[in-house]
Amino acid sequence: MRLVIWTLLLAAIAVVAAGTLGANDGIVSIYFRQWVVDLSLNLFLIAVVAATFAAYTVVRGIDSLIGLPRRARQWRITRRDRTAQAALREALALLLAGRYSRAHRQAQRAVEIQALTPEIEPDAEFTALGQLLSAASLHRLQDRTRRDEHLAQALVHAQRGRGVRPSEEAARLLSAEWALDDHDAERALQELGALPAGVGRRTAALRLKLQAARLSNHPLEALRTARLLAKHQGLSSAAAEGLVRTLAIATLQSARDADQLRRQWLALDAGDRRDPYVAASAAQRITELGFPEDARAWLRPLWDRLASLTVDERAVVARALAEAMSGLDAEWLARLEASMLAFPREPMFTYTAGCALAERQLWGKARRLLENAAQNTSLPAECRRVAWIVLARLAEQEQREEEAAQCWRQAALSAVGL
């Protein structure tokens, strides 16, 4: 197709030339001293065109000859730049392939080529990436001293960039990750704190912050970070629920006194306080600190909606209430009787009601319920042990020594899981 177009174009030029130049009878006379040269106008025009083309060619040739050293120098610079870029790409490939020593050497080669070629326009991002690849390779080789040196150089070069500096953000995140690998949670939190606010809310940063908070034994901070991760869909719903519950329980268990525990309980989200496992853990902890009335108050909202809970959740709530029986009022007895009628096949309510009746010194009803609970192997061994202990003390009060000894023996067997 191209050949056809060129043929038609040449034919058109020939037709135009024949039509315009064929009937041209003009003459051009050139006088030089005693010489006179007569040329046809057509020949003169052709000579002018040819001379112009020849002069242009000569000028271009001279310019090319003069500019040859400059172009050779530019070619060498371009070649070195391409060599540095290739070395950096090879370093990344070797790092991903697990060849860390060679990756470090190639990254340093790229940085050295860049540094030893002053004609190349300074590129802080390139140098920072090379130093980061070197640091990552050395981290895999467990060379922490040299790793930190290259990381510091990467940060220095990254901070020379203008506007958004992704290499600096990458250096901070890698530094935090490596600090966690070194079990240095404080350094990890310091590096994460140096990130801009927007970068600190990214999923990668939040994951690192969560690990650092857990490593530094700051469960409340870890809990807040886990909520942010769940909000940004950094965790699956099931994983987020389990993690938030674990951290909430750890936060409550870390309380050293009742006042601190109450503050931490109020600091939790309403959803966490409605979680049966979290509420049960808080109730057990406040009971250990000597405030069972607070435990019952925290369990009351869950007790009012037992029907909406699962079997395991009801068992956890009932067991937590059984440990908070000191000072139980008559109103709770009515609630326990109603729960036994509502869930007759769940033995934990029988055990809890028996503990409540024993606390209120209603020994007749308490003995029957506690005997049923103590002999129910579906209950946890600790609950059965407590039931046997209460029965033993009741038998001692009634001076039935043989029965008390038998109950104490059963309590000891329950303690060892028999």
pLDDT of residue 21: 62
Residues 6+ positions from 352 with CB-CB distance below 8 Å = 318, 319, 321, 322, 336, 339
Nearest of 333, 339, 387 to residue 362 by alpha carbon: 333
Phi-psi bin for 98: left (phi > 0), alpha (psi -120 to 50), beta?
left
H helix or E strand, kind and range, residue 31: strand 27-32
Farthest-apart Cα atoms in the chain, separation: 160
pLDDT of residue 147: 93
Q: How far apart are CA 70 and CA 64, in angstroms?
A: 10
SS (H, E, C) 171-199: HHHHHHHHHHHCCCHHHHHHHHHCCCHHH
Phi-psi bin for 217: left (phi > 0), alpha (psi -120 to 50), beta?
left
pLDDT of residue 23: 63
Q: How do the domains of the chain map onto residue ranges?
A: 27-63, 73-162, 179-254, 257-324, 332-418
pLDDT of residue 22: 61
Q: How far apart are CA 418 and CA 381, in angstroms?
A: 8
Distances 115 to 129, 153, 276, 395 between C-alpha atoms, Å: 14, 13, 62, 90
| 3-state SS class at 215 | helix
Q: How far apart are the first and last CA of the chain?
A: 97
Tokens, residue 258: 């009742």
| CATH number 1.25.40.10 is the correct assignment for the domain at 332-418 | yes
Q: How far apart are CA 38 and CA 29, in angstroms?
A: 4
Q: Would you state the torsion angle of the CA atoms of residues 393, 396, 400, 404, taken in this order, to the nearest 10 degrees?
A: 50
The burial of 222, by beta-carbon neighbours within 10 Å (0-12 exposed, 13-18 middle, 19 or more buried), is given as: buried
pLDDT of residue 133: 94
Q: Is the pTM of this model over 0.75?
A: no
The burial of 125, by beta-carbon neighbours within 10 Å (0-12 exposed, 13-18 middle, 19 or more buried), is given as: middle
pLDDT of residue 17: 67
332-418 and 73-162 share a CATH fold: yes
Nearest of 325, 407, 307 to residue 367 by alpha carbon: 407
Distances 193 to 10, 169, 201, 304, 389 between C-alpha atoms, Å: 74, 11, 11, 44, 53
What is the per-residue DSSP string for 354-406?
HHHHHHTT-HHHHHHHHHHHHT-TTS-HHHHHHHHHHHHHHHHHTT-HHHHHH
Backbone angles phi, psi at 111, to 5 degrees: -65, -40
**Tens digit of each residue's pLDDT, the chain (418 residues):** 788 888 888 888 777 766 666 666 677 778 888 888 777 777 777 788 888 999 998 888 888 888 788 888 888 878 888 998 999 999 999 999 999 999 999 999 999 988 887 776 667 888 899 999 999 999 999 999 999 999 999 988 888 766 557 888 888 999 999 999 999 999 998 888 888 888 888 888 888 888 898 888 888 888 888 888 888 777 777 887 888 888 888 888 888 899 999 999 998 888 888 999 999 999 999 999 999 999 999 999 999 999 999 999 999 999 999 989 888 888 888 888 889 888 988 899 988 888 888 888 887 888 888 888 888 888 888 888 888 888 888 888 877 888 888 888 888 887 665 5
| CATH number 1.25.40.10 is the correct assignment for the domain at 73-162 | yes
Q: How far apart are CA 122 and CA 100, in angstroms?
A: 27
pLDDT of residue 315: 92
Q: Give 202's DSSP letter.
A: S
Tell me which residue has tokens 């010194």: 361
H helix or E strand, kind and range, residue 29: strand 27-32
